[in-house]
Structure 1
Amino acid sequence: MEAANATRGVNASCDANIDDFRNQVYSTSYSLITVLGLVGNGFALAVLIRTSRQSSPFHVYMLNLAVSDLLCVMTLPLRVLYYVNKGQWNQGDFLCRISSYALYVNLYCSVYFMAAMSVTRFLAIVFPVKNLRLVTESRARLVCAGIWLFICLSSSPFLITGQHTDPSTNKTKCFEPPEGRGVRKLVMLNYLSLVIGFATPFLVILICYAAIVWTLLSRKHTARRQRGAAGKAIRMIVIVLLTFLFSFMPYHVQRTLHLSFLARGDATCSETIAMQKSVVVTLCMAASNSCFDPLLYFFSGEGFRSRLSSMRHSVAGSAHRSAARLKAVSDPGENQQNQQNQQNQQATASSQRGGPSRRLLSIC
């Protein structure tokens, strides 16, 4: 499924032009995605873990989505090294397979976790009473485990192809497209992943969002709490749809066209260069989904901003207590004097409160 790194069936000048463009775009894009993805998802994961006592089904899906994104962006530096070295792979066969596998596991886990979050929001808005019984944390964990198992198993074909040596350049290659019969097998695998991994969950998301919008429009008088839930739902709809339209849909459409293009074998040089460049761009767009997910946590995540606020107060309180203990250990004499002063002040205040009553009793 990886974008082609060399043009098939055309002259060497086409290969060189495509390789230069590919190396520059991939190395720059993957470096930027790595930085943004590590910072955004790492921060989100820290907030979610530190506030795990406030857990909810939506919290469970956000946590798994953040883990999936982090696992993906941690493999992107290997791709950066590959393209910086102008298509020379030096990290071994195992890491070649794992880095290719991780990208697609993240891609389809993100799709399915977004679908699960959309169904959860759908039940909360459309069936609020049944939602309390149907949607629980334990069931959300089971759904996440099922998603991980299904995606990891269905993406296992990406572990089959590892590094190989290009006979024309004598370079060790990775992330290269297959040739000959391998293209036909990849076309079948593409259609399968297109239907199961993209089209089906996307259809579920669209149905859920249509029902949510219809329900919100039909409610003329809503309570303040319901309006808050509606705002979260609208923000989630916008972010998820933008992610699909920018990251997932262009990549899947272009990947399908690209594989059909490879099977033709009669393309001209200019057509091949244009196709290869478009595939490079759409693959970078697909990998960038790891940068959009933190927006989903912050703007539509259930209580994420309140979790962030509570974590900030907790960290500030811990720092204050640590500073007080450190000060007490470093200067025990001053600490004892402060305690004595506090006791004297409390005694004085108590005597002042009790003085008038005692004088009144003596007069009586």
Structure 2
Amino acid sequence: MSEFLLTTPVGGGNSTSVTAELLVACFHNDDAFKYRAYTVTYLLLFPVALLCNIGALVVFSLQSGRRSSASSVVMMNLALSDGGFSLTLPLRLAYYFRGGVWVFPDWLCRLCVYGFYVNLYTSIFFLTLLSMLRWLAVVQPLRHRSLATPSRILRVCLGVWLFVGLSSAPFLTNGVTHRSGSPRCFEPSSPSSWGRVLILNYVALALGFLLPFLTIIVCYSRIIQRLRVRSNLHGSSDAYRRGKRRSVHLVTMVTTTFLLCFLPYHVIRSLHLHAVCGGWSCDVVVTLQRAAVVTLCMAASNSVVNPLLYYYSTRTFRDKMRDAHFSLSSRGGSFRARLRRRNTS
């Protein structure tokens, strides 16, 4: 389901063994495409994801308790998830630069596989939680003030971490395997493991994608409906325009993330697993494998898309960014002035 999308199909008996051998040869003749795609993607993602999410964590931590909000708590957890995933990218890059040879300990291989799914599904649940908070703020503002306190939302976020962490635990069982005399990571351990992967795929698809996606669709339809009603009541007041702008930004960014990062990956992953387990023709399976590689790269890119969400949908985040920029500019200016005075003295 991650980079270990394809190694050996499920099967049994002599005829399926022959088919398996043919398909394995076909699959790994296409390894060069997979390695190039992941290498280019992770080279681009690593510095951007690491710097942007560390910067976001710094900005959120600088917010005083008085200005902290429930949404900021969720976004801080989202940035922590994305930042943690970005730390695994150098290991993945080293693996693909070596042509698919894993030289690190087995536990690091398991951690990289596990980290991808933890990041993917915590991101989905945190974005869903943000959508629910915005729905509550727009549709039921009084309940939002009483229910959505930072401490209460922090407990919900901890529950998300616990649920996703435990649900993703089966991926910790997949470590280093050996193929062609070399240690490999991100590949299934045995043909029988594909049946388990297919079951896990359907559980993740239902609980980790479809349910959250339907939730945000319901939330956003209610938000849009309420904003239309309020537009007639409040006219063009400044407070209404600011609230509407934040809601529109959040709806746009979250919907774009789901449609571009999460939806293609889950659709292609399901088709690909069916092709492998169903023994479809090699050409079809390899085509789906390439599509799965591309959509996995798109899913991983959510770690650099989310910082845009923080900036465009959170006023306090933008204020802190401006304050930090002003502070750095002031310090730089005073430092240059001291240097000029020292040089002229």
| Same fold by TM-score greater than 0.5 | yes
* Structure 1 residue aligned with 2:238: 224
2:275 maps to: 261
Moved more, 53-62 or 280-289: 53-62
Aligned to 1:355: none
d(CA) in 2 for partners of 1:238, 1:217: 16
Partner of 1:245: 259
Residue 12 of structure 2: aligned partner: none
**Where does 1:56-67 land on structure 2 (aligned, <5 Å)?**
56-67=69-80
Native 8 Å contact 1:164 1:174 kept in 2 = yes
Deviations 1:171-211 (A, max 9, x none): 10110135432111111111111111111111111111110
SS state at 1:86 partner: coil
Aligned partner (choices 43, 46, 50) of residue 31 of structure 1: 43
For residues 238 and 291 of structure 2, what CA distance do their matches in structure 1 show?
A: 47
Code of the aligned partner of 1:59: S
Q: Percent identity of the aligned residues?
A: 38
The question of whether the paired residues in 1 share the 8 Å contact of 2:2 and 2:116 is answered with no
Relative to 1, partners in 2 of residues 1:133 and 1:12: Cα closer, same or farther, differing over 3 Å?
Answer: closer
Would the alpha carbon gap of residues 66 and 52 (structure 1) be closer, same or farther in structure 2, given more than 3 Å must change? farther
CA distance in 2, matches of 1:175, 1:200: 27
Distance in 2, matches of 1:36 and 1:52, equals 26
- Residues paired across the two proteins, number: 325
Superposed CA offset, 1:25-84 (max 9, x none): 111111111122112212222221223442111111111110100000110111111111
Q: Deviations over 1:256-278 (max 9, x none)?
A: 1111111112x333222212111
Computed over aligned residues only, the root mean square deviation of the Cα atoms, in angstroms, reads: 2.2
Gaps in structure 2 of 5+ consecutive residues: 10-19
What amino acid does structure 1 have at the position aligned with 2:299?
A
On the 8 A contact 1:97/1:159 being kept in 2, the answer is: yes
In structure 2, what residue type is equivalent to 1:49?
S
> Which residue number in structure 2 is paired with residue 69 of structure 1?
82
Of residues 194, 218, 236, the one that matches 1:207 is 218
**Secondary structure in structure 2 of the residue aligned to 1:236:** helix
Q: TM-score, normalised by structure 2?
A: 0.88
1:116-131 equivalence runs, <5 A: 116-131=129-144
Decide whether the 8 Å contact of 2:128 with 2:212 is kept in 1: yes
Find out whether 1:114 has 2:127 as its counterpart.
yes
Supply the distance in 2 between the matched residues of 1:209 and 1:201 (Cα, whole angstroms). Answer: 12
Matches of 2:152 and 2:309 in 1, distance apart? 22
- What's the offset of the Cα at 1:12? 6.9
Is 1:156 the counterpart of 2:169? The answer is yes
Q: In the alignment, what sits opposite 2:325?
A: 312
Instruction: Quote the offset at 1:6 in angstroms.
Output: 4.3
Aligned to 2:199: 188
**DSSP 3-state at the match of 1:172:** strand
2:25 aligned with 1:20, yes or no?
no
Q: Offset of 1:319 from its aligned partner?
A: 7.0
Distance 2:233 2:328 in 1: 40
Q: Which residue of 1 aligns with 2:13?
A: none
* Contact 2:74/2:130 (8 A) holds in 1: yes
TM value normalised by structure 1: 0.83
